[in-house]
Amino acid sequence: MDENRELPQQAEDTGESPGESGEPEKKKVDLAMELFDWAQSLVFAFVGIVLLFAFVASVFSVSQTSMTNTLQDSEMVMISRLPYTPRHSDIILFTKYGWQSSYNENTGQYSPLVKRVIGVPGDEIEFVMDGAVGTVFRNGEPLDEPYIREPMTYWAHGQSIPQYFVVPEGCVFVMGDNRNGSHDSRLTDIGFVDERSILGRVILRVTPLNKFGPVT
């Protein structure tokens, strides 16, 4: 046997398994991808919120007492802005252009009003008085109205109101739940509300938090 023959060199044992030396770079790539995914998700969420409040819903602060006790002054509500056909008992937000009491000199715009839909096109609305207290009839039937603050009297804001209305096409007849403290369709300066002036339907009370939930 040739003693001068060189023996194969043994690989030096470094204590690392194959591919282990590339782990730090792989972890950096994984972290970068995870951060990118998070950033992308946040961007999509932000865009979704912007679109939601631009086209689907908005938040409105109640600044009137005509819907007491259903809605209180300074409460925040969410409005659905999706197109829809008004229905009986819906609570809507609308603008009454030309009514000076709702004109805001600071913004140069008319402030939105919030009321409840009592009549839709074709409905006959009648107020039947029993002494000083009135009952609302729609198409000959008395309305069950558990939401009103108190029974309606014939006088509204010092004015004697008509007792019979027929809702024209394209309009709704609205009233506040605080019947004796509401300026609404009973009075000529508000009158019937054009459906095109409806800004949305109240769907949710946002604040106070202890009353958070649907509004009916």
Q: Which residues are catalytic?
A: 66, 115
Among 56, 38, 36, which Cα is nearest to 48's? 56
The dihedral through the CA atoms of 184, 186, 189, 195 has a sign that is positive
Report residue 29: phi and psi, to 5°.
-65, -45
Map tokens 């009370």 to a residue: 205
H or E segment at 26? helix 23-51
